[in-house]
Structure formats: structure tokens, C-alpha cells
């Protein structure tokens, strides 16, 4: 346990304290108690920056379950530190914001407990070196996110969104665990750093593609990539601080972290590069296209988040491409730097935008674009900050979004220089998708600002809008300032944070010395693309009423939500149908499954293992034995065909008597005695029961011919005969009965060997068989006496016991 | 041919005769037009069983089987009584004792 372990676990410790101090914190808003926690953590992590810049990697191990390799190994490099600072820093701002946003009427204790659990989980994900530990914290983020989305649990939409996000992210997380385990099978280690050291083994392994696909599925579901993005818009039912924190700045970036972290391991693979690149670009284009049609501000921001995540994902793919080819290294290093830079930028402007939308919602009572308008004069501060952050999102100078977007476009244009399978043939596709996505990003950024703050004032809002209190404005203000500062002086980030993070992704130790400039000269293609994006975006925005009808074409049936909902419904219906078909309450069906399975498994075993039947071991058969067996066979066949229960009972009695005769002929006097007594008692019990049966049915019944049942019963009989015969033919050892014969008198002082075995050599069996009889007797007695609820009484399995015992 | 082998031949012959007699009883049980025929055949089957076991005990020179013979005698009687009572009254054990007490 070191300081850094403490830093990761501090929020969860604070959560316990918050929960315990619930009673005493009535007067003060719980948020004020929570606020110091992320502040302390962010200050601690900021002090680590110089260490990481000197490449003094921090590694601290803490044994949790060393036998299975699950340890709490903390490993801090540039990448982990960047995420840790984002998580704790934005966490502090979100807590500050939530103090103004959530009133005392809400269940504040639960809210902050969930939020603190989430903080620990997220820090645990990004700083863990042990993949099992990473997986544990990963699932903890899913669980705490589930709790936070369903914070207003009496709303149906919240529950729907929470369930959906949990199903998708947990499903992905589980697949990711499979990926980790296959990595473990290859390398024999759960440590990420050791995996990186053994990258040769992974390259040679056939399991690597499986690991790649599974880990990427985990990353794509968490980071809301196509087609798994559908949970994110529904997660907007959460309180706005949660949306700002989890669903824009931190949790959805866990997938990006995972991809970045595993890039040094998997970058060799074409599969990895193509999957990330294509998924990222498709997500970017598709989500920004869909964001434009959204009416709800938070839904628009959710789609915007999805598209920005796609942008970062595609940049990471390009960075992996750089590692893969080795050629044009400089170019693709830019991609990694752009990815890291945009990750920071997105956290700042998207966090601020969510908070601003939350303020609009809080002060006007609605988030619908149709009902809002002309708020600029009423809420000037909110409006200004929205303008700044939306411009950054759209990629306008001089804000930070412009810088990373320009780097992105430049990389996408330069992708044609890459020497990578058939990439050069389709390279034109990538800039087109990127520009398409950027144009729509521009359009919805304009809509976000213009429709809400400009135009005519609407009187439609539920509350009379007014400027928010400073408590709520403080957090977005800090983030907006960061947007401007990072936009004007990007190089304060480049040396301190971006470079170490990029080196962490690339797995190198050579300094990158990144310099980020606003001005690349007139010959830079990215500049002209930006101009093109702005011009065409403006034109499309002006004429949007003429082309918005295209969204009508893919209503309900073509969306992935429709597929998801249908899938849920059908999985429920089909499992119910399957269940109804096979678990139908019909006992004869269950018996058919059990016996059919027995036959199939036996036949399979015969075929696989073979069997031998040896006729020579059999004893000679006498005529009288054959006649007795014939009697039994006749009676058996008679039971199957007779029409009356009584006749069947008499035939059963004759079988019992013949069995006793067989026992006697095989010289088992005691068995014969018992068999006769039991047979008589059983017959009497049957007669007793028959007298209770309804008269009409008591003399008329017949066994219907059922072909599957016939096949199964014949199969069971043949299998039992074959097993018995082949077991008898292959007796490997001498029987132990010689011991009993020799010692029956000397050791047990008895002449009857059967009885001596029953009560002396193996008396325990007899004891418990006696117990069985006692239970059966008591069971019959209680069933007949205790008729508390005659309709529900179903304990009929006991009444067979006294008959089945010999 | 000494006495022992003559006894064996007689025993085996008797056993076979009894076996065929049991088969005959079986025929009556399976075919036997009324239920009463069948119950009677079952009773007779029990009696044949007694003789059968007696012959077997002679054949294997064992005296431990005589108890089986006695038991069959009792049980076949009880079983026949049970059937008879069922056929006559429709039930085996009467709970209604008011008529006698």
C-alpha cells in the first residue's frame, strides 16, 4: 500500500464516510464534503508530472490474490497520468457543479456515493498494470454508471437507459475478459508490461486475432463505437453532472484508453489497424450525421460525443498503422499526438457543453430545441461560454478544437502515403468520411448555439429563464477558460502531458518534441479543408429545411435501437417458447429426455471405446429357468396390452412370484423371502389405491402406442442388456466375497452370510435403509393426516420409496 | 443306475411338469375370461410355487428353503383374500367399524 494506491482508493473510502455521515450532514450540502477528495487527488497527480517527464516510471505492486495472478499493480506512465488527471480534475469540477445543480430534495448521499465509487473505478482502470485488476475496475465503472443513470429510478426512461447501457457495456466487458485470458494463454502473464515485453510471442500466436477482436469489442462497447453507440443517447436520462462526467469526459474514454494501452502489443496486426480505423471513421460520420436531427440538446451532445470518440479512435488506428509499417513514422506520430490532444480538448469542451446545457435545462425547464430561443440577452454568460465551446467543437480557430481537428484532417489527407496492404487504393475514402463528419459537426455546433441563444425569444419555456447562480457557472467557466488557454498556448500541454502520453502509446522512450502551431502555411491541405468545411457547413445550415427530409427515410425500422429492442423482445419470446416446448410439465416428456440421453450417451461410448462380449463366461441354462423366464416375459407383454388395471396388477403379482422363484433357484433364500413379502404388500397397496380411483376409469385403461417412446424403451432395454453382458464378460478382478465366506463365523459368529453382511460387515447401509423406511412411513402418515392445503400438496415423490426398496 | 440318479431324474421330471403347469396358469391369467379366474390362477400359481421350491430344496440338498415354502403358503392366502375382498366389496381394509361394534 503506497500513496498512489491510497490515491486510487481514496474516493471509495470517502464514499464509506459519506454514507456513514448521512445523519449529520443535513445542514450542509453533501457535495462540499466530497469536493476535497478529487481536488486532493488531482493535486497529487499533478505533482507526478515532472517524474513522468523524466521517464521515471512509477510501479507499485500490492498483492491481492497472488495465487491466481490478480494483483493491484499500479503503473503510472504518461498515458495513465493523463487519464488520471482528466478523471480527478473534471471530477472536481463536476462535484462543484453538482452542488449547484442538485438540490437538497434529491438523495444526495446516494448520488455522491455512486460518483465516488465511479471515480475509484475509473482511476483503477487507467492506472492498472494487471489486466485482471483492470477488468474488475472496468466492471465497477459499468456498475456505478448503471446506478448513476438510474439515479431517478422512478422514471421509466431512466431504468430503460440504465438497463441498456449495462447490458451493452457489461457484455463488452465480459468479451474483453476473454481477450485478456487469451493473452494470458499466449504470454503466461497478466501484466501489461510483460505482455509488451513478449510481443514476439503474441505475434506468432494463432490466438492473437481472437484476443484482438475480443478486446476491441470491449473497447468499442465502452466507448460507444458503431454499432454499440446506442446506449449512450439513452444514458442521457442521468442527471446532467453524470452525463458531463461519465458520458463525455471519462467513462466513454475508457475504451480509447484500452486501445491506446494495447497499441504497442497489437499494432503489428492488420486486423487491429483496420478495425479501429474503419469503426472510428464510420462512427464519426454516422453519429455526426445523426446528431443534426436531434431535438433534445442532451441527445445532440450524446451523438456528438459518439462522433468525437470515433474521431479519436480513428486517429489511434492511424497511430497503430505508424507502428505497424514503420515507414512515414513522423506522419503517424502526429496521429497519436492528435489523438491525445483531441482527447484532452474533447474532455474540456464537451464537459463544459454538458454543464451549460444542464444550466439551460435547470433555468428554463426544458432541453427541447423547439421551445428554446433568444436566450442570449437573458443568459449572457452561459451564451458566451456556449459559443466558445461550440466553436471549439466545430473546429474553429483560435480554440483548441481547431488545432486537433486540423491535425486530424492533415493525417487523414496524408494517409495516401502509407504503404499498408490495399490502403492506398481506398485512401480517398478516409478524407471523404472525415470531411463529411466534420461538416455535420459544424452544422450541429451552429444549431446548438444559434437555435438556443439567438433568434426570437420564445415564451414557451416551463420556467421563466434567468442567469444561473455562480456556483453552477464556475465549473463551465473554468473549462471554457481551459479551452481558450489550450487554444492559444497549446505548447504548455505538448511537452508536459501530450508527449509522455504519446510515448506511452507508442511504447518508445525517445522524446517526441512535439510543437503545435496554429499556422501551417497556405500549402497545408488541412487549412483548405477547414475552409471548405466551414463554407459548405454554413451553406448546408442555411438550406437545412430543404434537406432535413432525408432523415424521415430511416425512421424506426432502420435504426439500431429498433434492432436492439426487437432483439430483446425476441430473445425473451424465443426463450419462453423454447422453455414452454421442453419444460411443459409433462413428466413422460422429462423421462423421455432422461432415458433418451442415457441411450445416446451409451451408444456413443460403445462406438468410441468399443466393447467385448464373451459368451464363454456364461453359465449353462436349465430348462426350468427358461420356463420361469418365459412366464415373466408373458406377464410383461400382457401388462402392456391388457385393458384392465386389475389384470395388469395380477400379472405384476405373478412376475413378483416368478422373481422370487428365480431367487430361490439361484439359491438366495433370504432374497426370495423378502421378495415374496414385499410383493404381497405392494399388491395390497395397489389394491388399496385402486379402490380410491374413479369408477369409470378403474377398469378401462390402455397403453397407447407411441413410436418415440417405443424406440426409447427398446433402446434402454438393449443398452442395459449390452452393458450388463459386456460388464459380466470382462470381469477384471476376483470378487471379494471369499473374505466373507472365510470369516462369516470366525469374525461375526453367524451362519447366515447374507444377514451377517447386512448387520455386521456392512451394517451402515442397513441403518440408513431403515431410516429410509422410517422417512417413507412418516411421509405417508403426514401426507394422509396433514391436509393443510389439499390443492397445493405435491409431495408425492415419497410414496414411491417404500415400494422401490427391496 | 443307483438310487441317487433315479431321484435326480424324478426331481427334474417333476420340476418340468410343475413348470408347464405354471405356464398353464399363466395362460389362464392372461386369457382367463373373468377377473375371478385370474385371481384363482394366481393363487394356484402360488401353490405350484411351493411345490416347485420344495423340489428345488431337495435337488440342492438344502433345508433353508422350507421357510420360503411356509411363507408362500401364508402370503398366497393373504393375497387371495385381499383380492377376494376387493372383488366383493371394492376395498381391502374397512374403516367403518360401526356395524360390528
In a domain, B85, yes or no: yes
Q: Say if the Cβ atoms of B49 and A646 lie within 8 Å.
A: no
Identify the three-state secondary structure at position A428: coil
- Residue A267's closest CA among A308, A184, A208? A208
Greatest C-alpha distance within chain A:
115
Q: Say if the Cβ atoms of B38 and A647 lie within 8 Å.
A: yes
Mean local confidence (pLDDT), A471-497:
84
What tens digit of pLDDT does each residue of A396-445 get? 877 888 888 888 888 888 777 666 666 666 777 888 888 888 888 888 88
Higher pLDDT, residue A427 or A528: A528
Tell me if A331 sits within 8 A of A417, measured CB to CB: yes
In a domain, B96, yes or no: no
Mean local confidence (pLDDT), A22-34:
77
pLDDT at position A767 over 90:
yes
CA distance A497 to A78: 7
As to burial, measured by CB atoms within 10 angstroms (0-12 exposed, 13-18 middle, 19+ buried), residue A9 is: middle
B8 is in which domain, residue-wise?
3-89
In a domain, B99, yes or no: no
Can you read off the three cell numbers belonging to residue B17?
411338469
Number of domains within chain B? 1
Cα nearest neighbour of A642 on chain B: B30
CA distance B3 to chain A (A): 22
Which residues in chain B are closer than 8 Å to A650, comparing Cβ atoms?
A: 29, 35, 38-39, 41-42, 83
Which run of H or E residues covers position A71? strand A70-71
Contacts of A51 (CB under 8 A, 6+ apart): A58
DSSP 8-state assignment for residue A76: E
CB atoms < 10 A from the CB of A35, how many? 19
Q: Confidence class of residue A515 from pLDDT cuts 50, 70 and 90?
A: low
* pLDDT score at A801: 46
Per-window interface: A 582-641 vs B, CB < 8 A:
623-624, 627-628, 630-631, 634-635, 638
Q: Confidence class of residue A698 from pLDDT cuts 50, 70 and 90?
A: very low
Tell me if A622 sits within 8 A of B15, measured CB to CB: no
Mean local confidence (pLDDT), A91-114:
88
- Of the candidates B16, B30, B60, which has its C-beta nearest A667's C-beta? B60
Substitution target from B26, B50, B65, B71 for chain A, most A beta carbons within 10 A = B26
Q: Say if the Cβ atoms of A634 and B30 lie within 8 Å.
A: yes
A750 interfacial to chain B (CB closer than 8 Å): no
| CA A785 to each of CA A781, A790, B28: distance values in angstroms, whole numbers, following the listed order | 6, 11, 41
Cα nearest neighbour of A669 on chain B: B65
Mean local confidence (pLDDT), B4-19:
87
CA distance A633 to chain B (A): 11
* pLDDT score at A765: 92
Phi, psi of A60 (to 5 degrees): -130, 130
What tens digit of pLDDT does each residue of A647-681 get? 888 889 889 988 988 998 888 888 988 998 898 88
Indicate the domain borders of chain A: 267-542, 587-732, 741-806
Higher pLDDT, residue A163 or A548: A163
Higher pLDDT, residue A517 or A580: A580
pLDDT at position A517 over 70:
no
In a domain, B60, yes or no: yes
pLDDT at position A140 over 80:
yes
Residue A76 β-bridge partners: A58
* pLDDT score at A793: 44
CA distance A161 to A156: 9
Q: Say if the Cβ atoms of A676 and B38 lie within 8 Å.
A: no
CA distance A598 to chain B (A): 33
CA distance B4 to chain A (A): 19
Q: Say if the Cβ atoms of B49 and A691 lie within 8 Å.
A: no
| CA A566 to each of CA A560, A570, B101: distance values in angstroms, whole numbers, following the listed order | 10, 6, 75
- Residue A402's closest CA among A345, A344, A355? A345
Mean local confidence (pLDDT), A91-111:
87
What tens digit of pLDDT does each residue of A339-374 get? 888 888 888 899 999 998 888 888 888 888 888 877
b/e string for A431-463 if b means 16 or more Cβ within 10 A?
A: bebbbbbbbbbbbbbbbbbeebbeeeeeeebee
pLDDT at position B101 over 60:
no
In a domain, B97, yes or no: no
- Of the candidates A627, A657, A691, which has its C-beta nearest B92's C-beta? A691
Beta strand segments in A434-583, E: none
In a domain, B95, yes or no: no
pLDDT at position A802 over 50:
no
Can you read off the three cell numbers belonging to residue A313?
479512435
In a domain, B38, yes or no: yes
B90 interfacial to chain A (CB closer than 8 Å): yes
Can you read off the three cell numbers belonging to residue A598?
442415457
Q: Confidence class of residue A519 from pLDDT cuts 50, 70 and 90?
A: low
CA distance A694 to chain B (A): 12
pLDDT at position A619 over 70:
yes
Mean local confidence (pLDDT), A184-203:
84
Q: Say if the Cβ atoms of A627 and B75 lie within 8 Å.
A: no
* pLDDT score at A512: 66
Amino acid at each position: 500500500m503506497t500513496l498512489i494506491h491510497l490515491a486510487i482508493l481514496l474516493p471509495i473510502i470517502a464514499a464509506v464516510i459519506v454514507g456513514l455521515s448521512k445523519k449529520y450532514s443535513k445542514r450542509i450540502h453533501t457535495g462540499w464534503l466530497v469536493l476535497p477528495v478529487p481536488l486532493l487527488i488531482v493535486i497529487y497527480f499533478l505533482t507526478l508530472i515532472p517524474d513522468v517527464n523524466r521517464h521515471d516510471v512509477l510501479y507499485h505492486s500490492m498483492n491481492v490474490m497472488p495465487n491466481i495472478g490478480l494483483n493491484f499493480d499500479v503503473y503510472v506512465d504518461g498515458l495513465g497520468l493523463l487519464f488520471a488527471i482528466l478523471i480527478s480534475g473534471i471530477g472536481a469540477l463536476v462535484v462543484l457543479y453538482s452542488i449547484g445543480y442538485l438540490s437538497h430534495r434529491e438523495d444526495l448521499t446516494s448520488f455522491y456515493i455512486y460518483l465516488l465509487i465511479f471515480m475509484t473505478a475509473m482511476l483503477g482502470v487507467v492506472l492498472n498494470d494487471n489486466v485482471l485488476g483492470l477488468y474488475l475496475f472496468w466492471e465497477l465503472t459499468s456498475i456505478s454508471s448503471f446506478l448513476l443513470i438510474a439515479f431517478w429510478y422512478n422514471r421509466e426512461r431512466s431504468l430503460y437507459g440504465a438497463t441498456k447501457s449495462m447490458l451493452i457495456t457489461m457484455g463488452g466487458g465480459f468479451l474483453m475478459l476473454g481477450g485478456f485470458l487469451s493473452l494470458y494463454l499466449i504470454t503466461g502473464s497478466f501484466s501489461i508490461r510483460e505482455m509488451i515485453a513478449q510481443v514476439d510471442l503474441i505475434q506468432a500466436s494463432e490466438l492473437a486475432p481472437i484476443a484482438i477482436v475480443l478486446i476491441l469489442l470491449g473497447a468499442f462497447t465502452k466507448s460507444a463505437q458503431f454499432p454499440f453507440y446506442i446506449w449512450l443517447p439513452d444514458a442521457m436520462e442521468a442527471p446532467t453532472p453524470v452525463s458531463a462526467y461519465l458520458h463525455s469526459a471519462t467513462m466513454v474514454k475508457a475504451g480509447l484508453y484500452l486501445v491506446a494501452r494495447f497499441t504497442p502489443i497489437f499494432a503489428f496486426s492488420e486486423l487491429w489497424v483496420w478495425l479501429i480505423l474503419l469503426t472510428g471513421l464510420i462512427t464519426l460520420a454516422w453519429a455526426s450525421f445523426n446528431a443534426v436531427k436531434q431535438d433534445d440538446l442532451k441527445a445532440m451532445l450524446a451523438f456528438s460525443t459518439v462522433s468525437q470518440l470515433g474521431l479519436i479512435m480513428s486517429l489511434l488506428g492511424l497511430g497503430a498503422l505508424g507502428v505497424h509499417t514503420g515507414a512515414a513514422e513522423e506522419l503517424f506520430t502526429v496521429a497519436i499526438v492528435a489523438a491525445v490532444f483531441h482527447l484532452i480538448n474533447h474532455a474540456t469542451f464537451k464537459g463544459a457543453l454538458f454543464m451549460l446545457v444542464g444550466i439551460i435545462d435547470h433555468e428554463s425547464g426544458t432541453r427541447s430545441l423547439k421551445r428554446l430561443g433568444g436566450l442570449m440577452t437573458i443568459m449572457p454568460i452561459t451564451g458566451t461560454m456556449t459559443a466558445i465551446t461550440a466553436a471549439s467543437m466545430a473546429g474553429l480557430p483560435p480554440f483548441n478544437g481547431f488545432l486537433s481537428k486540423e491535425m486530424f484532417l492533415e493525417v487523414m489527407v496524408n494517409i495516401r502515403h502509407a504503404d499498408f496492404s490495399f490502403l492506398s487504393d481506398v485512401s480517398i475514402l478516409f478524407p471523404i468520411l472525415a470531411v463529411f463528419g466534420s461538416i455535420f459537426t459544424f452544422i450541429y455546433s451552429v444549431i446548438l448555439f444559434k437555435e438556443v441563444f439567438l433568434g426570437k425569444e420564445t415564451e414557451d419555456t416551463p420556467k421563466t429563464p434567468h442567469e444561473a447562480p455562480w456556483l453552477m457557472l464556475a465549473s463551465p467557466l473554468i473549462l471554457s477558460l481551459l479551452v481558450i488557454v489550450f487554444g492559444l498556448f497549446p505548447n504548455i500541454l505538448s511537452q508536459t502531458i501530450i508527449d509522455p502520453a504519446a510515448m506511452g502509446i507508442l511504447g518508445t522512450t525517445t522524446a517526441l518534441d512535439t510543437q503545435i502551431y496554429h499556422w501551417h502555411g497556405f500549402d497545408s491541405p488541412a487549412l483548405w479543408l477547414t475552409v471548405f468545411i466551414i463554407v459548405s457547413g454554413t451553406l448546408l445550415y442555411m438550406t437545412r429545411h430543404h434537406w432535413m427530409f432525408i432523415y424521415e427515410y430511416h425512421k424506426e425500422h432502420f435504426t439500431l435501437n429498433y434492432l436492439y429492442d426487437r432483439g430483446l423482445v425476441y430473445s425473451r419470446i424465443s426463450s419462453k417458447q423454447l422453455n414452454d416446448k421442453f419444460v411443459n410439465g409433462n413428466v413422460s416428456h422429462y423421462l423421455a429426455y432422461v432415458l433418451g440421453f442415457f441411450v445416446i450417451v451409451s451408444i456413443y461410448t460403445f462406438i468410441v471405446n468399443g466393447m467385448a462380449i464373451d459368451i464363454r463366461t456364461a453359465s449353462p441354462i436349465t430348462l426350468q429357468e427358461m420356463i420361469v423366464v418365459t412366464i415373466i416375459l408373458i406377464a410383461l407383454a400382457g401388462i402392456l396390452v391388457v385393458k384392465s388395471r386389475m389384470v395388469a396388477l395380477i400379472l405384476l403379482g405373478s412376475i413378483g412370484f416368478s422373481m422370487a422363484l428365480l431367487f430361490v433357484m439361484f439359491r438366495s433364500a433370504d432374497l426370495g423371502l423378502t421378495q415374496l413379502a414385499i410383493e404381497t404388500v405392494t399388491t395390497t397397496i395397489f389394491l388399496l389405491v385402486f379402490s380410491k380411483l374413479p369408477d369409470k376409469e378403474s377398469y378401462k385403461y390402455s397403453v397407447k402406442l407411441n413410436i418415440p417412446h417405443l424406440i426409447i424403451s427398446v433402446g434402454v432395454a438393449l443398452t442395459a442388456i449390452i452393458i450388463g453382458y459386456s460388464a459380466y464378460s470382462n470381469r477384471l478382478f476376483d470378487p471379494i466375497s471369499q473374505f466373507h465366506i472365510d470369516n462369516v463365523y470366525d469374525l461375526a459368529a453367524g451362519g447366515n452370510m447374507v444377514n451377517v453382511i447386512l448387520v455386521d460387515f456392512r451394517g451402515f447401509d442397513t441403518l440408513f435403509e431403515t431410516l429410509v423406511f422410517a422417512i417413507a412411513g412418516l411421509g405417508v402418515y403426514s401426507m394422509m393426516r396433514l391436509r393443510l392445503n389439499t390443492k397445493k400438496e405435491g409431495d408425492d415423490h415419497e410414496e414411491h420409496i417404500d415400494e422401490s426398496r427391496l | 443306475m443307483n438310487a441317487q440318479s433315479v431321484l435326480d431324474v424324478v426331481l427334474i421330471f417333476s420340476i418340468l411338469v410343475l413348470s408347464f403347469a405354471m405356464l398353464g396358469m399363466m395362460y389362464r391369467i392372461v386369457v382367463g375370461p373373468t377377473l375371478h379366474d385370474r385371481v384363482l390362477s394366481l393363487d394356484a400359481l402360488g401353490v405350484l410355487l411351493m411345490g416347485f421350491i420344495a423340489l428345488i430344496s431337495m435337488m440342492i440338498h438344502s433345508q433353508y428353503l422350507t421357510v420360503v415354502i411356509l411363507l408362500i403358503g401364508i402370503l398366497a392366502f393373504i393375497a387371495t383374500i385381499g383380492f377376494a375382498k376387493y372383488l366383493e366389496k371394492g376395498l381391502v381394509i374397512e374403516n367403518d367399524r360401526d356395524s360390528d361394534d
